[in-house]
Amino acid sequence: MEKKTTPYLPSELITEILLRLPVKYLIRFKTVCKSWFTLISNPNFANSNFQLAATQTRRVLSISAIPRQIRSIDFQALLNNHSASPNPNLSIPIPHFYLQIRGSCRGFIFLNCAIYNLIWNPSTGFCKKLPLSDVNYNFANTRYLYGFGYDQSKDDYLLVSLSYNDSRVGDHSSHLQIFSIRDNTWKQIEDPPSRYKSDYNFSKVGLFFNGAIHWFLYRRYSSVNVIVAFDLMERKLLEMLLPDAFIPYLADLDLWVFGEFLSLCAIRNGIVEIWVMREYKVHSSWTKTLVFPIGAVPYFSPIYSTKNGDIIGTIGGTGLVKYNGQGRLLGHCSYCEDPRGSQVIMYTESLLSLPDDNKQV
């Protein structure tokens, strides 16, 4: 059957095909023609593309300090030795202050550069400056924890800042502030009843999961380790206790998402213990899922689990490791030459734009 002309596909078919492409290629194919540029730039298209879970690609953002280098790493390809996949250096149009990563959500990264906050979508290049919270930064002993998440009920993104006074005397209340993208302002949330503090080895960046931001904290005076979750829809704080059978003493603790579940990863004396909360908020559903030796791997932090249950983690922001569901090491690689390591966070590629927003830096 000889065909002289190639079959012509109507535009609704082309849209259906494009919706199933990963973000990187959608950005590339914006240059195919003007109508594709318009289609791919359309926020509705971005939303539909994001909802198609099959196309969601995750990357690791790595920021090293001096010299400042921002890299986006295709960690799955790197671990599978697909060296053809590039890990490009990205740039943000802001001055060379120290950049601090404070969260990631739906393709956006929450960054701080000393004099202002930023929301940045590394895939589209969109970047927006946001004000700092007006909590008084002059107290030398004030400590901060951060979070970034999405309130589905309002189609709004929230920056969250939890602060407390670390000195031995004085007011030990914890203070919670949120910044809503839609309201474009910082708001104080009623002080939580408990007094919390963090520890040097707890992550300062909260985990966004199930519509809430989660941190590890101590309840002061009782020295009990808890997971504190700030629900972005209810705008309320709640506590979740660690598993009864778990002993936090001297362990490095991490929160992450294992499959579909909130998971606790504890490392002590070279042994990794992974617990999973099979039913969110249900204390009795904590289940010890995996225990395996990690040896001398420093600063292991799990970030992602694959469909087969493999566990991928960063090591001190200089490299990545992959273990299978039984704890056997499958591979490792390094992506950062700076021995001081880098700040890392995992993000999902998206074409999404912020609600009601056209302003950029």
Both tokens of 157, joined, read 């993104």
Q: Which stretch binds other proteins (CB under 8 A): 3-11, 137-145, 233-241, 353-361?
A: 3-11
* Binding of residue 9 to other proteins (CB under 8 A): yes
| Cis amide bond preceding 67, omega within 30 | yes
Closer residue to other proteins, CB minimum distance, 22 or 211? 22
* Binding of residue 90 to other proteins (CB under 8 A): yes
Taking the complex as a whole, the smallest distance from the CB of residue 352 to other proteins amounts, in Å, to 16
Nearest Cα neighbor of 281 from 208, 332, 348, 227 is 227
Closer residue to other proteins, CB minimum distance, 9 or 291? 9
For 321, the enclosing helix (H) or strand (E) is strand 319-323
Three-class secondary structure of residue 252 per DSSP: strand
Both tokens of 220, joined, read 């002061």
For residue 264, the cross-strand partners are 255, 275
Q: Which stretch binds other proteins (CB under 8 A): 25-33, 96-104, 154-162, 332-340?
A: 25-33
Taking the complex as a whole, the smallest distance from the CB of residue 5 to other proteins amounts, in Å, to 7
Three-class secondary structure of residue 223 per DSSP: coil
* Binding of residue 33 to other proteins (CB under 8 A): yes
For 75, the enclosing helix (H) or strand (E) is helix 75-79
Both tokens of 188, joined, read 């104080």
For residue 258, the cross-strand partners are 261
Within 151-190, the residues that bind other proteins by CB under 8 A are none
> Judged by CB under 8 A, which of 85, 177, 289, 306 binds other proteins?
85
* Binding of residue 361 to other proteins (CB under 8 A): no
State in Å, rounded, how far the first CA of the chain is from the last one. Answer: 55
Closer residue to other proteins, CB minimum distance, 72 or 165? 72
* Binding of residue 92 to other proteins (CB under 8 A): no
Both tokens of 87, joined, read 């890990």
Closer residue to other proteins, CB minimum distance, 38 or 152? 38
Q: Which stretch binds other proteins (CB under 8 A): 7-15, 142-150, 192-200, 257-265?
A: 7-15
Closer residue to other proteins, CB minimum distance, 33 or 330? 33
Both tokens of 277, joined, read 């909360």
b (16+ CB within 10 A) / e for 5-41: eeeeeeeeeebeebbebebbebbeebeeeeebeebbe
> Judged by CB under 8 A, which of 43, 86, 93, 298 binds other proteins?
86
Three-class secondary structure of residue 88 per DSSP: coil
* Binding of residue 70 to other proteins (CB under 8 A): no
Within 99-128, the residues that bind other proteins by CB under 8 A are 124-125
> Judged by CB under 8 A, which of 37, 97, 98, 137 binds other proteins?
37
Residues interacting with other proteins, by CB under 8 A?
3, 5-9, 13-14, 16-22, 24-25, 27-34, 36-37, 54, 72, 84-86, 88, 90, 124-125
